[in-house]
Amino acid sequence: MYLRTTTRRAADGTLVRYLQLAHNEWDPAAHRSKVRVLYHFGREDELDRDAIRRLIGSLSRALPPGEALAAAAAPELRFCESRPLGGAWLLEGLWSRLGIGEIMARLLRGRRLDPAAERALLAMVANRALAPSSKLSCAAWVSERVAMPGLESLSDDQCYRAMDWLTEIEAELAEQVYWATANLLNLEVDLLFFDTTSTYFETEAADPPSDGAPAGFRAYSGHSKDHRPDLPQVVIGLAVTREGIPIRVWTLPGNASDQVLIRSVKDDLRAWKLGRVVWVTDRGFASAENRRYLQRAGGHYISGEKLRSESAEAKAALARQGRYHVVAGNLEVKEVVLDDGTMRDRFVVCRNPDEATRDAAIRERLVATLEAAIAGSDDLAAAAREQLACDLRGTPTNRRFLRVTAAGLLRIDRAAVAADAKLDGKFLLRTSDPTLSAEDVATGYKQLLEVERGWRDMKTTLDLRPVYHRKEQRIRAHVLLCWLALLLIRLAEQATGDTWRNLRTELDKLHLGRFAGPAGEVAQRTEITTRQAAIFKAAEVPEPPRIFGVAPVEAAVTA
């Protein structure tokens, strides 16, 4: 049984096609098959196509589901491949909303560089957010495993050339991206949170010094935040707004001091003319010289102070009497103002009752362990006691609570224990801003966790390490790509109120399929789910079209 087409010439001379449902039957007498028409559909140009669809649907019910689906498809149609589309589409939409493509196109003018450099950088940023890998693997990812309309293939040479150009435009790009982000989100930049981390390299030796510098770019440092002082590292600084939006990243030699770094960062941002800015930093940046430097040009700071430091100011602030006030949740604050005659600093003593209970329990456990360690030590020889004391003092907590009497006996320092108990659940903040309330200072400092969250995402979600580059400019470019990826995923999280992990999982379900038939090729996406539609709407990114392109057979063969 088949669809038969016949042609007749009308009175006006035009050819008219007729469609019939026919069946061939064997004629024993004539010894040949004859056509038997079962149904006349009429003229092809007047065909009731809805009736045809109803007939096909009715006949399909007599077949198993799988066979019915196969029967409805053209036998010549081939399903060639399917690639994830949703994540890359969302990231490109946010990239366009920020105008990064336009910014890069403007910076490309007059340069002897492939105009596709912007597309290559977008691909590497998307790869970092969706499937972090080396630049060589990224090129294969774009060419073989993901759908990025407008970028069907990518080579590692394109990636490296684009990265080298990225370091050339770093300063100008960072400033323009910041203002585009600020205008898009109406960002408040009265508080800027800054912190540093480090990343190490699996290499046998550090970089040699160059240009008169005492050390190379990848250098050994006395302190590694990744707990790998045996490997050379670089230092990375990140500044974020109170909303958690990363506005710029810095990459510096591995032996760079935090104290010097903060001054360099302030100088870099001075050209942006941000107006009144309060820098929020942790205890690592709280030297007197740094504090005064941050106050230049009307700036201010909020910094953490070491509770157990030898600072006379910190001791005076902690000793000052006053009443605590509950400000946020179970956080209590007390303000102390110290005037040294030249600069007026405000201290805010913060206390968390839950943390105080936890600190007390930890200290009791440590003291009990120390008591057990020195039990019976009075009966030991003097040399043995001295050796035990040396071993115990190797641990900072033991050193704080261990006392050696004039007779050489080991005892618990009860005065130190009592003094430590007064610090339970407390942290001390210092600020130069006279306008911020104690509550604003305390809650503002707690938002420094946004930087910690940024580091966590850069090192896990975006796989900042391992770094497969050894040249300084490529290492800087790699960190810049991670910063741009972090910026895009933060925008997506802020718009949708969901984590990037959940967004990525959902968007990975949206695929682009490629089909080939006798007439050519067609690319069509899968159906958009309700959740996917909500993500695109919240991010103000248009949904991808259903059909991405039809290539006639001639074009398909040529391609």
Confidence of residue 285 (pLDDT cuts 50, 70, 90): confident
DSSP 299: -
Residue 542 included in any domain = yes
- Is the separation of the CB atoms in 515 and 82 below 8 Å? no
Lowest mean pLDDT among 22-31, 280-289, 440-449: 280-289
Residue ending a domain, among 364, 392, 421, is 421
DSSP 219: B
Residue 182 included in any domain = no
Residue ending a domain, among 369, 386, 421, is 421
- Is the separation of the CB atoms in 161 and 117 below 8 Å? yes
Residue 442 included in any domain = no
**What integer pLDDT is reported at residue 557 of this predicted model?**
41
Q: How much of the chain, in percent, has pLDDT values that exceed 70?
A: 92
* 263-267, 343-347, 484-488: range with highest mean pLDDT: 484-488
Confidence of residue 400 (pLDDT cuts 50, 70, 90): confident
Between residues 474 and 326, which one has the greater pLDDT? Answer: 474
Residue 396 included in any domain = yes
Radius of gyration of the chain (CA): 35
Q: Give the pLDDT mean for 154-170.
A: 92
Between residues 322 and 75, which one has the greater pLDDT? Answer: 322
Average pLDDT in the chain: 85
Number of domains in the chain: 3
Query: Residue 264 in 3-state DSSP?
Result: helix
Domain that holds residue 395: 355-421
Q: Give the pLDDT mean for 106-112.
A: 79
- Is the separation of the CB atoms in 232 and 201 below 8 Å? yes
Q: How far apart, in whole angstroms, are the C-alpha atoms of residue 301 and residue 294?
A: 7
Residue 525 included in any domain = yes
Alpha helix positions (H), 274-404: 288-294, 312-319, 353-374, 382-392, 396-401
For residue 165 the two structure tokens come to 């150009």
Confidence of residue 69 (pLDDT cuts 50, 70, 90): low
Q: How far apart, in whole angstroms, are the C-alpha atoms of residue 301 and residue 432?
A: 6
**What integer pLDDT is reported at residue 307 of this predicted model?**
78
**What integer pLDDT is reported at residue 137 of this predicted model?**
93
DSSP 215: S
Taking the model in full, what pTM does it have?
0.76
Confidence of residue 473 (pLDDT cuts 50, 70, 90): very high
Query: Residue 308 in 3-state DSSP?
Result: coil
Residue 531 included in any domain = yes
Residue ending a domain, among 26, 46, 73, is 73
**What integer pLDDT is reported at residue 312 of this predicted model?**
77
Residue 547 included in any domain = yes
Residue 270 included in any domain = no
Q: How much of the chain, in percent, has pLDDT values that exceed 90?
A: 34
The DSSP element (H or E) to which 326 belongs, if any, is strand 325-328
Bridge-based pairing of strands 344-351 and 426-431 is: antiparallel
- Indicate if the pLDDT at residue 342 is higher than 50: no
Nearest to 96 by CA among 191, 30, 180, 20: 180
Bridge-based pairing of strands 32-43 and 402-404 is: unpaired
The residues that bridge with 473 in the sheet, in sequence order, are: none
- Indicate if the pLDDT at residue 550 is higher than 80: no
**Measuring CA to CA, how many Å separate 532 from each of 112, 150, 492, 504?**
40, 22, 13, 10
**What integer pLDDT is reported at residue 144 of this predicted model?**
93
Confidence of residue 75 (pLDDT cuts 50, 70, 90): low
Confidence of residue 439 (pLDDT cuts 50, 70, 90): confident
